[in-house]
Chains A and B, each alone.
Chain A
């Protein structure tokens, strides 16, 4: 059976969601998307002023990739701002999918959990399919599910830091307590090993941007992440062994006398 990612009823083979900001050129961005194998790409609407179809050629290039578009509300700091941006992006991109980002702190771009919850409730009532960028707090995540979110995107670390999974205790709790909910690690991933680790922990997908866009060779880095995410996912589904304190030989020891085993331990 195919190992697909299902979000709001839609199925995807790829578990790598890629952002479209910060690339040296649109062409490098397109090459990176192709190399990533991503089927969902995020785009920031707010900084592109789409009124009067100003950024049309840039948008069209992203549309032509055939990827599912996931507009985000990057940079929004209030519920009202997020809702306005969401409505604009729904009209412009003809999708009700939305990566909801409501920033509560300028310094580390940390989500504002209170406004995020309020905006999620309102946007879901307006028919949006909300993918909230949230912290790793279990109660916040539960409340987001209560208002109708069907997928959650907890952070690994603050946006653009490349620090990896900073709070594995909280993230593990989320995974254990919300076993059926698609959980996508969004933000803070700097290296393929970190993305692989998130996937090994059982997260459903990884969303990132800076680590690819700012690499010396973005398409090659996109390909590296794709491999790591795939490896992590396969490892998770294959069943990782548990860690243990004592060594245990992988070569069968049948035929070896007991005293030799004892001697080797002394």
Chain B
């Protein structure tokens, strides 16, 4: 088969059906390419970090503890999400909910200094791009009546959150409807060897996250723990961040009166269930946001690993016809659209998008890999 013939449909294998794999498959199918999506686990029991995540798109909040590149990529994604979701939702009976009315940052009395520092860091790093502003108690009561007991809050306009679990399901359905070939329970082994093992594919894109650790010696997993609760007692419209000296704690409203609270950040590749200590920390943080949450029902706890390189920045690694996207770390939903958009444009037209040079790393010998899809 001819490779890199722009204008003709390409045959592309995507390995790993997390957020990146699904988004990329969907985009490429919409561009008219032929896509096979392989997943090591089961579509019914997803184990990807995207399934665990709270799915905030919050470039402002993240700039305080990230490289400036994460902010710029995040702003680009923030522009893409509504566009892509409206394309997706037009084909869906039940649309994916997307809240983009900004997020709210609060702190308890003992952590008030953390909130001041947060605002200071935003100003220092963003300068005139810092559009965050203080809300006094009365304004806060207008934005979020159930947070009115906080004396003040910081408002971050434009930040968003998405109903990720519904999104992941809808993407898979659409991939199927657009003729994508979805195969689960099928691990793909990447071994050292000749690239002609690529077989019938023009390109193979590795979106396995932590699943590709063996091919990426610099990749590490950062443990995160989250908790899901359900209650009708408290309503929130915005994602709420709670200042904490150690974690980036947040509560994100989800459909059906559910909330996700997370997330711890532990330098460990331990995927065992949430610890009692983390449970206490997350639960007490939630409780202090509004005491009525004490009666919420804990419906799920989850643990997963964020795939990250040493600089905590995302990478597209190009190795001939074998391409990987990885290292999205804490920023899956914040970065996935811009990463996928860059790669899809590159595959489709050979074009190198605005951030291409920031994202692309060329493979080292250690990363050299070819692929052999199993049991096709």
Contact = CB atoms under 8 A, between A and B. Distances in A.
Interface string A22-62: 10111110100000000000000001111110111110010
Judged by DSSP, the binding face of B is loop
Interface stretch (B186-194, B262-270, B365-373): B262-270
A50 B268 contact: yes
Given A24-B312, A27-B310, A216-B124, A49 B266 contact: yes
Contacts of A51: 270
Given A49-B223, A216-B124, A24 B268 contact: no
B214 interface: no
A259 interface: no
A107 B268 contact: no
Interface string A52-76: 1011111001000000000000000
B311 interface: yes
A24 B110 contact: no
Contacts of B124: 216
A47 B265 CA distance: 9
B267 A58 contact: yes
Contact of A48 (B218, B267, B308): B267
Nearest to B278: A47
Contacts of B310: 25-27, 30, 61
A160 interface: yes
A54 B270 contact: yes
Contacts of B267: 47-48, 55, 58
A25 B311 CA distance: 5
B110 A58 contact: no
Contacts of B349: none
A216 B118 CA distance: 11
Nearest to B305: A54
Contacts of A54: 223, 268-270
A196 B275 CA distance: 41
Nearest to B218: A57
B61 to A, nearest CB: 13
B220 A52 contact: no
Interface string B265-309: 011111000010000000000000000000000000000000010
A49 B121 contact: no
Interface in B301-347: 308, 310-313
A52 B223 CA distance: 14
B16 to A, nearest CB: 20
Q: Which of A24, A30, A50, A56 has the most CB of B within 10 A?
A: A24
A216 B117 CA distance: 11
Given A24-B67, A61-B310, A160 B245 contact: yes
Contacts, number: 58
B125 A216 contact: yes
Contacts of B246: 22, 47
A26 B327 CA distance: 13
Interface in A189-238: 214, 216
Contacts of B117: 214
Contacts of A214: 117
A48 B268 contact: yes
B245 A24 contact: no
A63 to B, nearest CB: 14
B108 to A, nearest CB: 11
B66 interface: yes
A207 B54 CA distance: 36
B269 A27 contact: no
A55 B245 contact: no
A65 to B, nearest CB: 13
A71 B220 CA distance: 21
A54 B110 CA distance: 33
A28 B309 CA distance: 12
Contact of B266 (A25, A48, A57, A216): A48
B266 to A, nearest CB: 6
Contact of B268 (A28, A30, A49, A216): A49
B65 interface: yes
B125 to A, nearest CB: 7
Contacts of B125: 216
A144 B275 CA distance: 33
Interface string B242-269: 0001100000000000000000001111
Interface string B197-237: 00000000000000000000011100100000000000000
B270 A49 contact: yes
Nearest to A26: B310
Contacts of A27: 310-312
Interface in B2-61: none
A24 B312 CA distance: 8
A57 B308 CA distance: 11
A233 B267 CA distance: 35
Contacts of B245: 160
Contacts of A160: 245
A58 B66 contact: no
15 contacts: A24-B67, A25-B308, A25-B312, A27-B310, A27-B311, A27-B312, A48-B267, A49-B275, A52-B270, A54-B268, A54-B269, A55-B266, A55-B267, A107-B110, A214-B117
Interface of B: 65-67, 110, 117, 121, 124-125, 218-220, 223, 245-246, 266-270, 275, 308, 310-313
Closest 5 CB pairs of A and B: A54-B268, A25-B312, A54-B270, A57-B220, A58-B267
Given A47-B246, A49-B270, A61-B310, 13 more contacts: A24-B65, A25-B308, A25-B310, A25-B313, A26-B310, A49-B268, A51-B270, A54-B223, A54-B270, A55-B267, A57-B218, A57-B220, A58-B220
